């Protein structure tokens, strides 16, 4: 073998080694796509089967499902009042749909845990309704699913983490307590992006090591359910429950609502309690309802927050209102035009505005306080893993089941020994200033944007946001129109949303035959 030939062979071997190394690096570092990964389905199905035992589910579904699917809360209550439906049948239909659509092979996997007493509670609601003479709450007897970072007594609350899968809180988060107080049935808990999206930089949205991958019914494995309230949005769009509760730090309600063609409402931060919800950034986190209509969002908001808003629903409410429309270079221009036209069709005066998000940081600030917030929460509520370092160590013992996509966000936060809230407060104040200036200088009644593209500003500022279905784009991806107003103007925001909803009729049922 000549010297020249040996050199050529050596170069070829070196090239192949580099190529192989590059391929392995890409496989390890490139964000993976979604996969059908669903854990512990048998447990949920067994729970449901035991609760539905003895019922003629074929007959109930055939005769009663029409009184539930795509129905608003008021319609469901009317159907119950006139004898067409009972709370028992309503809850049974929800459980049956979870079993057959969500927990089946290649199902949506949006539900993480089922309340083992849901049917028993539904029968009690039927008895209470018969014996009561006074008006009951609008949410009375309505099944509600909660995102699994919301403490719920008697039901495991894991935030999607394998280490917390068996944690059963002794007391309810304030949100859960408010719903129960007004007669809602807590049907179970929703899957989510683990730790509300603060686990791994390469995990797909909607994945948790406790339950697996949440699937978007509009395009399984092709269209993301978004996050982190993925399961909360999917369960509502698929009519597994009439309503659900999500939480938002930055876009975690409005983004999944957009992706699921449902209504997502993040209220003014000061009007709802975050007590009993595992935090990302305690100063910013806000729970809110995900529903199929603005009217239902108002009902759930009242029940979960001790508010008592009673909007006078008016299709013409947007007439003459001045709405600032903001967009960014990465937005689909045709969809922005559709949003603008929809607002104008509803009677709004639309002006283009620029909103800079420069200097407003949310996600990158989570690391500054997450360790302390997690450990404080673990101490107060008795989590089985008390420190972030111990949580990371637990996950490292069985990485494939406990940290399938890694845990680099947790590891990053664990390095922060001192809590630093100053940067978080700076972002809050900066966001308030940017939005208040825009409202004042343009004399705006509201601000609109596509999907969740400008959510960082109202999320940081604590302003309310309302996302409304806006049909689908040319590729079949659901779109959302998001409106925001100053803090405390939640009722006005809901009235704007109702007007937009009635003019646009953008809600799509992904399971409806075209």
For residue 11, pLDDT over 80 is answered with no
H or E stretch covering 354: none
Give the confidence band of 254 by pLDDT, cuts at 50, 70, 90. Answer: very high
pLDDT given at position 5:
47
CA distances from 358 to 283, 427, 444, 457 (A): 20, 9, 21, 10
pLDDT given at position 64:
98
| Cα distance between residue 428 and residue 436, in whole Å | 12
Neighbour order of strands in the sheet with 322-325: 111-114, 185-190, 143-147, 243-248, 286-291, 263-266, 465-472, 478-484, 446-450, 322-325, 349-352
Note the residue count of the chain: 514
**Radius of gyration of the chain measured on its C-alpha atoms:** 24
The closest alpha carbon to 244, from 111, 136, 129, belongs to 111
| Cα distance between residue 226 and residue 344, in whole Å | 28
Structure tokens given for 202: 């390469």
pLDDT given at position 420:
86
Per the listing, tokens 């302390």 go with 372
pLDDT given at position 306:
86
pLDDT given at position 1:
53
Q: Which residue has the higher pLDDT, 207 or 32?
A: 207
The closest alpha carbon to 191, from 147, 226, 161, belongs to 147
pLDDT given at position 379:
98
| Cα distance between residue 232 and residue 235, in whole Å | 6
- Return the number of other C-beta atoms located less than 10 Å from residue 82's C-beta: 9
Question: Region 114-143: what's the mean pLDDT?
Answer: 92
SS3 state of residue 272: coil
Q: Give the rounded distance of the alpha carbon of 500 from its chain centre.
A: 22
| Cα distance between residue 371 and residue 388, in whole Å | 6
**Tens digits of residue pLDDT in 233-245:** 999 999 999 999 9
**Contact, 490 vs 309, CB < 8 A?**
yes
- Return the number of other C-beta atoms located less than 10 Å from residue 128's C-beta: 14
The closest alpha carbon to 473, from 289, 335, 308, belongs to 335
| Cα distance between residue 514 and residue 510, in whole Å | 9
What's 150's DSSP letter? B
**Contact, 289 vs 304, CB < 8 A?**
yes
pLDDT given at position 417:
84
**Tens digits of residue pLDDT in 414-456:** 999 888 899 999 999 999 999 999 999 999 999 999 999 999 9
**Contact, 442 vs 353, CB < 8 A?**
yes
- Exposure class string for 156-168: b at 16+ Cβ within 10 A, else e: bbbbbbbbbbebe
Beta-carbon-side half-sphere exposure of residue 247 (alpha carbons within 13 Å): 34
Question: Region 6-26: what's the mean pLDDT?
Answer: 38
pLDDT given at position 27:
31
pLDDT given at position 2:
56
For residue 22, pLDDT over 60 is answered with no
pLDDT given at position 33:
86
Q: Is the peptide bond before 33 cis (omega within 30 degrees of 0)?
A: no
User: How high is the mean pLDDT of the chain?
Assistant: 94
**Tens digits of residue pLDDT in 31-71:** 458 999 999 999 999 999 999 999 999 999 999 999 999 99
SS3 state of residue 330: coil
**Contact, 330 vs 174, CB < 8 A?**
no
Question: Region 257-267: what's the mean pLDDT?
Answer: 98
Cite the active site residues: 147, 228, 252
For residue 216, pLDDT over 70 is answered with yes
Which residues neighbour 39 within 8 Å (Cβ) at sequence distance 6 or greater? 210, 211, 212
pLDDT given at position 23:
32
For residue 136, pLDDT over 90 is answered with no
Give the confidence band of 18 by pLDDT, cuts at 50, 70, 90. Answer: very low
Which residues neighbour 202 within 8 Å (Cβ) at sequence distance 6 or greater? 29, 30, 31, 32, 405, 406
SS3 state of residue 371: helix
Three-state DSSP string of 390-414:
HHHHHHHHCHHHHCCCCCHHHHHHH
Which residues neighbour 360 within 8 Å (Cβ) at sequence distance 6 or greater? 427, 430, 431, 434, 456, 457, 460
Long-range pairs of 340-345 with CB within 8 A, sequence gap ≥ 24: 342/470, 342/481, 342/500, 342/503, 342/504, 342/506, 343/318, 343/448, 343/481, 343/500, 345/503, 345/504
pLDDT given at position 513:
61
- Domains in the chain, CATH or no CATH each: 34-502 (3.90.1300.10)
H or E stretch covering 109: none
Which residues neighbour 46 within 8 Å (Cβ) at sequence distance 6 or greater? none
10 Å CB burial of residue 13 (0-12, 13-18, 19+) is exposed
**Tens digits of residue pLDDT in 492-514:** 999 999 999 999 999 999 999 66
pLDDT given at position 418:
81
For residue 186, pLDDT over 80 is answered with yes
Least confident piece of the model among 10-24, 97-111, 269-283, 317-331: 10-24
Which residues neighbour 357 within 8 Å (Cβ) at sequence distance 6 or greater? 434, 454, 456, 457
**Tens digits of residue pLDDT in 343-358:** 999 999 999 999 999 9
């Amino acid at each position: 073998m000549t010297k020249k030939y040996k050199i050529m062979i050596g170069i070829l071997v070196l090239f192949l080694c580099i190529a192989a190394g590059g391929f392995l690096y890409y496989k390890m570092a490139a964000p993976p796509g979604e996969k059908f990964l669903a854990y512990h389905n048998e447990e949920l199905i067994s729970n449901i089967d035991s609760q539905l035992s003895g019922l003629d589910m074929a007959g109930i579904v055939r005769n009663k499902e029409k009184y539930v699917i795509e129905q608003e809360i008021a319609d469901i209550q009317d159907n119950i009042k006139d004898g067409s439906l009972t709370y028992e049948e309503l809850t049974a239909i929800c459980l049956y749909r979870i079993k057959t659509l969500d927990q089946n092979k290649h199902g949506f996997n949006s539900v993480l845990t089922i309340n083992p007493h849901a049917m028993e509670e539904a029968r009690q609601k039927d008895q209470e309704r018969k014996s009561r003479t006074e008006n009951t709450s609008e949410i009375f007897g309505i099944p509600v699913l909660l995102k699994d970072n919301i403490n719920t007594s008697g039901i495991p609350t894991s935030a999607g983490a394998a280490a917390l899968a068996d944690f059963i809180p002794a007391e309810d988060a304030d949100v859960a307590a408010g719903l129960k107080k007004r007669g809602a049935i807590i049907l179970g808990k929703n899957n989510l992006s683990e730790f509300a999206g603060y686990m791994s930089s390469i995990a797909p949205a909607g994945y948790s090591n406790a339950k697996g991958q949440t699937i978007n019914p509009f395009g399984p494995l092709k269209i993301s359910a978004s996050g982190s309230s993925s399961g909360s949005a999917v369960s509502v769009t698929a009519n597994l429950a009439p309503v659900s509760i999500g939480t938002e730090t930055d876009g975690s309600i409005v983004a999944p609502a957009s992706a699921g063609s449902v209504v997502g409402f993040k209220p003014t931060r000061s009007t709802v309690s975050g007590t009993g919800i595992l935090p990302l950034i305690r100063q910013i986190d806000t729970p809110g309802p995900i529903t199929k209509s603005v009217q239902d969002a108002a009902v759930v908001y009242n029940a979960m927050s001790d508010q008592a808003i009673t909007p006078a629903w008016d299709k013409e409410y947007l007439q003459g209102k001045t709405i600032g429309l903001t967009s960014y270079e990465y937005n689909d221009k045709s969809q922005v035009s559709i949003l603008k036209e929809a607002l104008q069709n509803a009677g709004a005066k639309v002006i283009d505005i620029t909103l800079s998000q420069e200097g407003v940081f949310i996600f990158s600030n989570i690391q500054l306080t997450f360790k302390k917030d997690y450990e404080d929460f673990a101490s107060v509520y008795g989590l089985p893993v008390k420190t972030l370092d111990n949580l990371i160590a637990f996950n490292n013992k069985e990485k494939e089941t406990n940290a399938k996509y890694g845990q680099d966000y947790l590891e990053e936060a664990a390095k922060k020994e001192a809590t630093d809230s100053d940067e978080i407060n700076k972002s809050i104040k900066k966001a308030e200033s940017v939005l208040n200036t825009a409202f004042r200088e343009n004399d705006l009644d509201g601000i609109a944007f596509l999907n969740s593209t400008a959510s960082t500003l109202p999320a940081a500022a604590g302003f309310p946001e309302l996302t409304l279905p806006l049909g689908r784009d040319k590729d079949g991806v659901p779109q959302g129109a998001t409106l925001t107003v100053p803090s405390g103007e939640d009722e006005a925001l809901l009235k704007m949303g109702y007007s937009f909803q009635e003019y646009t009729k953008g809600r799509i049922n992904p399971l409806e035959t075209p």
